[in-house]
Amino acid sequence: MVQFHLIPFTCFLSMQLALSGDVVSAFSVPKQTTLTTRHQNVKRDATSPINSKQSSFSKSDSESSRVIASFLLGATLSFMGMVSQPLPSVAASTTIMDPMPGDVQGVGAVTQSKLGQSVRGAVIGGAQIADSLDLQWERFSDKLRDESKCDPRTNRRMFDNGTRRDGTKIGNPVLGALCTPEPLKAVDDSVVAVVTKLAEDAMLEISNLDRSKLKEAEQRVADKVRPAFARAAASTSSIETSNSADADPELVQKQKRQEFNRDLYVQMRTYGEVLTFQSSASTPKSKSSVISQQFETSWGRKMLQELAPNANRKDYSSPFPKPDPTDEQPYDEASLLDALGGISVVLNKLQAAGIVGHWEISIPEDDFWNVVTIAVDDDVSIGGEILARESKLPLSGSPVVGLVKAAMEGTRIPYKIDTFFIDPTTTKQELYNPSQLLVSLGDLGQ
């Protein structure tokens, strides 16, 4: 359940920096932000989520407004005590308006002035302070974990946000890892084969290649990446060439999961290269995004047809209550529940096949039933998905995301989708090891 209880200080600082335009051109601002939500230690995928409804911040092109914003940034930082020397408003105004040597005007004057230099120094120092504060919060947040307290509905550890002076709770408890871990089931090779073949079928559907050409392209990519994956799986190298019945069953299962992760990554990288090659240099990014979305939706639709052909709202499974039928919603509740029923059936089969672990779907009532979250623990393909995102590949290769997009397409309900990679066990960045995929559907029907 994505519910923000704390915005780290760095987020506030980033919002201030966003107002200043070119003033901050001298620094690098991280693109990835860690957020504290109901699911702990969330790293948002900011590189490639495809939203059914896109939103953006409008920026004024007026030079004067950017100068004013720059001045407000300096004043804000000065007020917060992070500017080494106070910036009097009169002096700042004079500096902004007076031309610099060489007839440098406008924003250039600000960035090269004493004000601009002071702001840059203040922001760098402020960012260092913010990093320290965020780290202290992470340590404090981990200490709030109650190892003996579990959420009764989800069986997850609870992170208490603390209490006010009057004894009332601050916000809702944040959910972490399962109190009673559920190990992954044995890998079902037949289901793995179905998932990968359906991805191939979806690619053939939107490309002009035949199956043999696509297989050749996959083999070339596999030859490139196999050594890297082999090094990552060095712990199981002792059984890679062994067919002995005495091999450790757990190691055999670990190897199968690594192979599925590798093979799916190879497919997605190959398909991304094919789509890029078939697109001309003049093809707009928006069209490439549409093609990528077409692939994911087609893949998900084929999984629904193969693994959940007759699923409906009766198959919907969740530890949380369904939307209140007496509350009016801006969407067709029956269609939404039918879609979630199909997702539930497929996730059950993927879980039984050892491809994903424990999962849960929730429609938080405190979000007025306008948000759906789908949390999937121990997603076997999450390593390849993260590698694909960090490499900025066109396709991420998440069966879960494709499944969700296809199910929602059938509802004709407008929505916005975000994906997060989560480590539910800790908030410590140095221990960050994501194992959970969280898909958030927001702005339903809007």
CB-based contact 414:55 (threshold 8 Å): no
* This prediction's pTM: 0.65
Same-domain status, 217 and 88: no
Same-domain status, 328 and 228: yes
Length of the chain: 446
Q: What does the alpha-carbon distance between residue 237 and residue 231 come to, in Å, rounded to a whole number?
A: 9
- Among residues 408, 410, 397, the alpha carbon closest in space to that of 437 is found at 397
Same-domain status, 141 and 245: no
pLDDT at site 217: 93
- Among residues 150, 154, 151, the alpha carbon closest in space to that of 318 is found at 154
Considering the domain boundaries, does residue 369 fall inside one?
A: yes
Low-confidence ranges of the chain (pLDDT < 50): 1-112, 115-117, 119-120, 123-124, 137, 140, 236, 238-242, 244-245
CB-based contact 178:150 (threshold 8 Å): no
Same-domain status, 120 and 221: no
Name the β-bridge partners of 145. 159
CA angle in degrees (0–180, nearest 5) for 100-101-106 = 30
pLDDT at site 201: 96
Query: Could you tell me the end-to-end alpha-carbon distance of the chain, in angstroms, rounded to an integer?
Result: 19
CA distances from 139 to 34, 56, 158, 383, 428 (A): 14, 34, 16, 26, 7
CB-based contact 119:136 (threshold 8 Å): no
Considering the domain boundaries, does residue 283 fall inside one?
A: yes
Q: What does the alpha-carbon distance between residue 312 and residue 341 come to, in Å, rounded to a whole number?
A: 5
CB-based contact 422:434 (threshold 8 Å): yes
In the numeric block, the tokens 């989800």 are attached to 154
Considering the domain boundaries, does residue 420 fall inside one?
A: no
Instruction: State how many domains the chain has.
Output: 2
Considering the domain boundaries, does residue 427 fall inside one?
A: no
Q: What does the alpha-carbon distance between residue 254 and residue 248 come to, in Å, rounded to a whole number?
A: 10
Same-domain status, 393 and 352: yes
Considering the domain boundaries, does residue 315 fall inside one?
A: yes
Considering the domain boundaries, does residue 183 fall inside one?
A: no
Same-domain status, 218 and 308: yes
Among 178, 199, 214, identify where a domain stops. 178
pLDDT at site 328: 83
Considering the domain boundaries, does residue 184 fall inside one?
A: no
Q: What does the alpha-carbon distance between residue 360 and residue 362 come to, in Å, rounded to a whole number?
A: 7
Question: Residue 118: what are its φ and ψ, rounded to 5°?
Answer: -65, -40
Q: Which two tokens stand for residue 41?
A: 């230690």
- Among residues 387, 445, 141, the alpha carbon closest in space to that of 262 is found at 387
Helix (H/G/I), strand (E/B), else coil: 11: helix
Among 153, 178, 203, identify where a domain stops. 178
Same-domain status, 283 and 359: yes
Among 150, 178, 206, identify where a domain stops. 178
Same-domain status, 129 and 159: yes
Same-domain status, 150 and 207: no
Amino acid identity of 387? L
CB-based contact 333:325 (threshold 8 Å): yes
With b for 16 or more beta-carbon neighbours within 10 A and e for fewer, the 386-417 pattern comes to: bbbbeeebbbbbbbbbbbbbbbbbebebebbb
pLDDT at site 323: 78
CA angle in degrees (0–180, nearest 5) for 390-37-399 = 45
pLDDT at site 230: 86
Considering the domain boundaries, does residue 445 fall inside one?
A: no
Same-domain status, 25 and 127: yes
Helix (H/G/I), strand (E/B), else coil: 34: strand
- Among residues 378, 355, 48, 393, the alpha carbon closest in space to that of 225 is found at 393
Same-domain status, 214 and 335: yes
Q: What does the alpha-carbon distance between residue 161 and residue 146 come to, in Å, rounded to a whole number?
A: 11
CB-based contact 257:435 (threshold 8 Å): no
Q: Domain range holding 104?
A: 9-178
Same-domain status, 365 and 245: yes
Q: How many CB atoms lie within 10 A of CB 36?
A: 22
Question: Residue 112: what are its φ and ψ, rounded to 5°?
Answer: -95, -5
